[in-house]
Structure 1
């Protein structure tokens, strides 16, 4: 069963960098999920879909997969947006290059 190794992007609710550097190993689904007829919940007999392992580095995640004999696919990292730091008062300064809009 193949696994995916990737570095997840930060959520919109996350402002710090506490768990931003972790790499994740997730198992791919072996069987499709089915809808339970009474309540409509989705379920699956494959419990490996629930397993999510985290590692400090990509090399540790790859070494774990090779040690356990798991076929793995490493996904590329998402690009990080560059943050431009500026002051609030820069919005109202004299000689501003572009027009101020609401």
Structure 2
């Protein structure tokens, strides 16, 4: 299991153990973390699992693919550098301690 830290817009933290091979979105959804809607269920066809990745973790994540880049255009207040869709981040051991911040709302 890998520990992922989800921080609500108001600052409340949720520390969740997520199994390798799952996505950061699935970890939030399955643990009822408020603020991750995941309307498309992980198909990268919406932006309702949008987060801002803690700057310390940006270099450790795989790059965004073109589909994720396109979907982020529909996210609420996207940040060119820190915004990611959690359905596109697979959980692996090297992400233990990953911290993500939820936006004020999801579009």
Range of TM-score over shorter length: under 0.3
After TM superposition, the score normalised by the length of structure 1 is 0.22
Name whichever structure is richer in helix by fraction: 2
Q: Report which of the two structures shows the higher radius of gyration computed on alpha carbons.
A: 1
Larger RCO (CA within 8 A; separation ≥ 6): 2
